Amino acid sequence: MKHLAPVPLCPSHNDRMKVNPTFTGYACPSDGCTVTYTEEVGYFRVVGGVKQRPLNVRRCSKCAVHLYLVQRGENRLDDIWLCPNKECPAKRLHLV
At its nearest, how many Å lie between Zn ion and the CB of residue 77? 20
Distances (CA, A) of 74 to 7, 71, 78, 80: 20, 10, 6, 11
Q: DSSP code of 46?
A: E
At its nearest, how many Å lie between Zn ion and the CB of residue 19? 15
Using rule CB under 5 A, residue 82 touches Zn ion: no
Using rule CB under 5 A, residue 34 touches Zn ion: no
SS3 4: coil
Using rule CB under 5 A, residue 12 touches Zn ion: yes
Which of 80, 50, 76, 53 has the alpha carbon at shortest distance from 68? Answer: 80
The whole-angstrom separation of Cα 67 and Cα 82 is 5
The residue within the footprint of Zn ion, chosen from 9, 27, 35, 69 (CB under 5 A), is 35
The residue within the footprint of Zn ion, chosen from 7, 41, 55, 63 (CB under 5 A), is 63
| Residues at the interface with Zn ion (CB under 5 A) | 10, 12-13, 28, 30, 33, 35, 60, 62-63, 83, 85, 88, 90
